[in-house]
Homo-oligomer: A and B are copies of this chain.
Amino acid sequence: LKRLHSPSAHDVGELAGVSQAAVSRAFTPGASIAEATRKRVVAAAQKLGYRPNLLARSLTMGRSGIVGIVMGNPRNIAFNAALQVLSSRLSKAGKHMLIFTTEDSDRAADVQVEDLLKYRVDALLLMSADLSPKLASRCQDAGIPVFFFNRFGGKTGGIVSVTGDYRNGGRKIAQHLVEQGYHRLAYMAGLKNAPADRERATALSGYLAKQKLPAAQIVTGHYQREGAMAAARAVLSQPLPPDAIFCGTDYMAIATIEVARFEFGLKIGRELGVIGFGDIEQASWRSFDLTTYSQPVSIMVQKVVDLLLEDRPVAHPERIVVPGELKCRKSTQRD
């Protein structure tokens, strides 16, 4: 289908009696143009419904103003909030977002990134998604900075990661559980070898070892509801089940609460402590009242956007850890 062609700078110039270049200047803040002609141009543009073609501008300027975003499994993070904040902060800076999602976050988001590169995005933001080292370095060659959000960038150079504080969170949680008198702990990882899970598990077992307490049993919930429920069932069916379960995400923790409560008839807090990670909206709902360590999504987004807008070339991989805090709620209250 043919597009009705929209007016160009040339058309506007004709109407205003100036050159096409003058029209361009009228729409370029800080360009050298007389106030009177600027006004005349703007009036003409108004009348014609002219909007500068950003594709053309991108082509000449060599920067698209577009940030490429790939979202992995959007369930693990306060996804809506993140997108909202991201969008508002970026558009305030005149940037726009070209978005992809990936079905399974296990595979690297290479296909999506390939497409993104064709649009000459100014930067790449991977939210809970991975990228192969090979493609990462191709981005670097192309001068496109890559940012990981809620994920580790790995060892490839020039990549910035912004994550929650898994280490401190894990330690704080361990401490809290022990203080509450729980002593047979289990850790439900998303994936056993996910860096975030490793850090949490390491912090947990480090604390337990220091207190001369028995190590925590480790299970895997695959970051999904069904997976978490299966893991919870398995753990709770054991002859000597744990008296507290620390889950790598709030989402899995909620599933665990439901299994414990409705399938095993356990009183949450009193008979089984459950603790999550992230402090998503549902954690504070009365039905769950989930103790958790917060992952301050807004701050994390802000951080990544700031770095992104700085537009400073990053030589070495950098990791930025945004601290959270322990939110004590009823799911780990003994009485």
Of residues A1, A49, A66, which shows the largest number of chain B Cβ atoms within 10 Å of its Cβ? A1
How many protomers of this protein does the assembly include? Answer: 2
For residue A214, which residues in chain B have a CB less than 8 angstroms away from its CB? none
Minimum CB–CB distance from A250 to chain B (whole Å) comes to 13
Q: Does A52 contact B (CB under 8 A)?
A: yes
Minimum CB–CB distance from A15 to chain B (whole Å) comes to 17
Partner of A3, one of B63, B83, B84: B63
Q: Does A264 contact B (CB under 8 A)?
A: no
Q: Is A54 within 8 A of B84, CB to CB?
A: no
* Size bracket of the A interface: 35 or more
For residue A53, which residues in chain B have a CB less than 8 angstroms away from its CB? 59, 118, 120
Known contacts A51-B118, A79-B80, A118-B51; A143/B59 CB under 8 A: no
Chain B proximity mask over A281-292: 1 for CB below 8 Å, otherwise 0: 010011110000
Partner of A56, one of B49, B59, B285, B287: B59
Q: Is A98 within 8 A of B101, CB to CB?
A: no
Known contacts A100-B91, A141-B4; A59/B55 CB under 8 A: yes
Q: Is B3 within 8 A of A54, CB to CB?
A: no
Of all A-B residue pairs in the complex, the 3 with the closest CB atoms, nearest first, are A4-B143, A87-B101, A287-B287
- Which residues of chain A have a CB within 8 Å of any CB of chain B? 1-6, 49, 51-56, 58-59, 62-64, 66, 71, 74-75, 79-80, 83-84, 87-88, 91, 96-101, 103, 112, 114-115, 117-120, 138, 141-143, 254, 258, 261-262, 282, 285-288, 311-313
List 17 interface pairs A-B (beta carbons < 8 Å), by A numbering.
A2-B143, A3-B62, A4-B141, A4-B143, A5-B62, A49-B138, A51-B117, A52-B118, A55-B58, A80-B80, A84-B101, A87-B100, A96-B115, A258-B285, A261-B286, A282-B282, A287-B287
